Structure 1
């Protein structure tokens, strides 16, 4: 038993790509032909492919040659120096935030002490020696 693979006829495909069509744009009220085009499938394919490639080229140029690249992640818009500066600023901001929290806590504790609202008293006793009177 033989199996045959059906191959599309290359000549018929080329004929379909090269066969001519007419595109007519008419005025609906007067049936007057406003514009008429003679087209082939190949010319339509080439036209839309060219438009597609042109759009890709314009988009790429817009990204590469304008500051827009800095807003896209992974495009190399940020260099190593900027990344280092960002990390240094982040570390500095974090340390300033922590210092501010410590300072705020310290001021709150001082306000409590001054207002007499101490929640925990020192329970250690201190032995203060009494001063003896000196003979006159």
Structure 2
């Protein structure tokens, strides 16, 4: 059920639908709440990060920059070893939404966009090429 909720919200976000006053907005908040409990049997840090990124995008649709920052902060604070490709792609989705937000020229939006720009996945382990 939780995964279904997560994917339903992500689908709506990818389609450009949803705002906090809509069913998608409520579902995005519900998904973050569900995936914020690391003791839950379905929990995964990547799903929590994705749910938070989706909520940030939904909040940006409503011009709620502060709310978007609050949703995204735990994702940006992940240690580099946990910044896998899926999480980075989700964060970049927030970056794109920021570029279309009415708040895009604010100091906070510019700082957040820069922080997301610097956000990178963990480097793959170095391995020697076979000879």
TM-score range normalised by the length of the shorter chain:
under 0.3
TM-score with structure 1 length normalisation? 0.19
- Judging by fraction of residues, say which structure has more helix: 2
The higher relative CO (CA closer than 8 Å, separation ≥ 6) is in: 2
TM-score with structure 2 length normalisation? 0.20
